Amino acid sequence: MSAATLSISLDHQARQAIYLQLQDALRSLIHSGRLQKGERLPSSRELAQALGISRTSSLKAYDNLIAEGFLFSAPKRGVFVAHNLPVIDLQPLPVLDAPKQEKPMLGFESVANVENFPARQWASCLRRSWLKPDADLMMGEYPSGWPLLKQRVAEYLRDLRGLDCQAEQVLITAGNRDALTILVQALLEPGSGIWLENPCYAQMASLFTLLGKPLHALPLDDEGAQVPDSCHGMAVITPNRQYPLGIVMSPQRRQTWLEQQQFMREQGKRLWLIEDDYDSEFVYQGRTHVPLMQLDRQQGTFFVGSFSKVLFRGLRLGFIVAPPEQIGRLKDSQYFLGSSSALGMQPALAEFMAAGGFASHLRRMRRFYLAKRDTLLAGLDDLAVWLKWEKNAGGMHLVTYLREPWQGEHTSGLAWDTLVARRAALMGLRLNCLSEHYFTGNRVSGFILGYSQRDELQMRCAMGLFKQCLEEVLSAPAR
């Protein structure tokens, strides 16, 4: 169905957010049968243009409906109405003496540990930064970011990452998702595609599908993302530490990417390199490599980072560093999409960085996560009959692979790691399956085990449940 025939009316003066109105309207169309099961929806861009709203709003609505089970995303094809819709009981609910609390699930999360966040120091920075608030800040007059925060980001990158950049090159975002949306809007021309590591962060592939852009897979080897013979458009790569496999791109492969960029330019086409600096803050062995952007002389690499991964997820702040010639395009794109970064928190973060709180927190958490990693490694020894792994040199997670008998698909058509994860969910354990992070081609079965959140007792409990699931599902010979 085209965007023009959806018959959706939105109230821009209402208190309810536009994306929530859109979400409710689409859900109603599905319930009424106007949108049939399996029917393809317009891309987020088409829908946003037809309704006169930002693409961020249409993306949020689609994402929420996918999470609820009303829609599903198919790589390279689009967004569709789900075949098996959630069952909604419209009968009155019985009156209960007390609401039943759902038991929280154990898991192996790899997000910032908030129990160790210096909340008192952060509160002090927040207070100081708002004692004399900037009137323009309160009016939202800094769409590309608070100037002092951009200055602090540039200083941090120069001092700790070896990236020679200026504050004028920095764009503050609401995190990686927002950054990638801005970059796609600013850089991609009709007919060009997106080249993405396979496997990758699953929601990244879903995002680009929602944006209606062709996806091309970049296979990985021991040196990182392989360079295709010919490609133009945008390549999103993680040279420092690939997610989820943890591969560090070799210097030779980095140079090959830059040479490919130059070659495409000589052919009259552009290859934009998006350098996602994933997990560079937490390296336990060796040193981080010089950013690819620092080596690029073609002005075609963009450096993307996130504070939410390092400090706390609810912060919703990140950044893009752009070549001087390209920053204007990104600002235009951000203005068109509508800036969604938390402007009110930016002065506090700038103050936190200036006072040394950010660097101090990184040093403390680097030691903390290293100890957590070692605890996880010690617990994995009992699982060696089913799993294999290598000690990771950084980050907040470790990748384990199912051994050869359990690679490929079960006779049910499901990957073996998915079967284990389904059994684990029934036992109160949430597992992150490696196979679900491939968006095309053959999938490798394994598990992404984060260690940032759990204390030693919780870790032992989670490992015990994990072992029980592996025993129950994989005890019979693989078929």
Q: CATH says 117-359 is which class?
A: alpha beta
* Segment 49-73 mean pLDDT: 86
The residue count of the chain comes to 479
pTM equals 0.78
Average pLDDT value for residue range 223-251: 95
Q: Residue 281: is its pLDDT beyond 80?
A: yes
Average pLDDT of the residues of the chain = 89
Q: What is the pLDDT of residue 154?
A: 98
Instruction: Read off the pLDDT of each residue in 92-97 and give the average, rounded to a whole number.
Output: 47
**pLDDT reading at 77 higher than 80:** yes
For range 426-430, the mean pLDDT: 93
Least confident of 5-19, 324-338, 396-410, 422-436: 5-19
Residue 414 pLDDT exceeds 60: yes
88 has a pLDDT exceeding 60:
no
Give the model's confidence band at 2: pLDDT under 50 very low, under 70 low, under 90 confident, else very high. Answer: low
Containing H/E element for 423? Answer: helix 416-426
CATH of 3-81, one of 2.60.40.10, 3.40.50.2300, 1.10.3720.10, 1.10.10.10: 1.10.10.10
Q: Is the pLDDT of residue 93 over 50?
A: no
Helices (H), 211-282: 251-266
Residue 149 CB-half CA count within 13 A: 28
Tokens of 269: 């086409």
Interatomic CA distance for residues 369 and 362, integer angstroms: 10
Q: Given the DSSP bridges, would you call strands 387-389 and 301-306 parallel, antiparallel or unpaired?
A: unpaired
Domain layout of the chain by residue ranges: 3-81, 107-113+362-474, 117-359
Q: Which of 289, 291, 280, 288 is nearest to 258 (CA)?
A: 291
Report the largest interatomic distance among the alpha carbons of the chain, rounded to a whole angstrom. 72
Does residue 140 surpass a pLDDT of 90?
no
Measure the CA–CA gap between 474 and 179, rounded to whole angstroms.
Answer: 41
Predicted confidence (pLDDT) per residue in 158-214, tens digit: 998 999 999 999 999 999 999 999 999 999 988 889 999 999 998 899 899 888 888
Q: What CA–CA distance (Å, rounded) separates 143 from 132?
A: 20
Nearest to 108 by CA among 473, 464, 447, 469: 447
pLDDT digits (tens, 9 = 90+) for 100-122: 445 567 899 999 999 999 999 99
SS3 category, 283:
strand
pLDDT for 90: 40
Segment holding 128, helix H or strand E: helix 119-129
- Bridge partners for 271 per DSSP: 233
Banded pLDDT at 401 (limits 50, 70, 90): very high
359-362-368 Cα angle (round to 5): 150
CATH code reported for the domain at 107-113+362-474: 3.90.1150.10
Q: What is d(CA 409, CA 444) in angstroms, rounded to the nearest whole number? A: 10
The first and second tokens of residue 467, run together, are 């072992």
Distance of CA 263 to the CA centre of its chain: 30
What six digits make up the tokens of 456?
């030693």
Give the tens place of pLDDT for each residue, 339-381.
778 888 999 999 999 999 999 999 999 999 999 999 999 999 9
Instruction: Supply 333's token pair.
Output: 């794109």
The pLDDT > 70 percentage for the chain reads 94
Quick one: pLDDT at residue 98? 45
* Whether pLDDT at 425 is above 50: yes
Supply the DSSP string of 290-332, one letter for each residue. Answer: PPHHHH-SSS-EEEEEESTTTS-GGG--EEEE--TTTHHHHHH
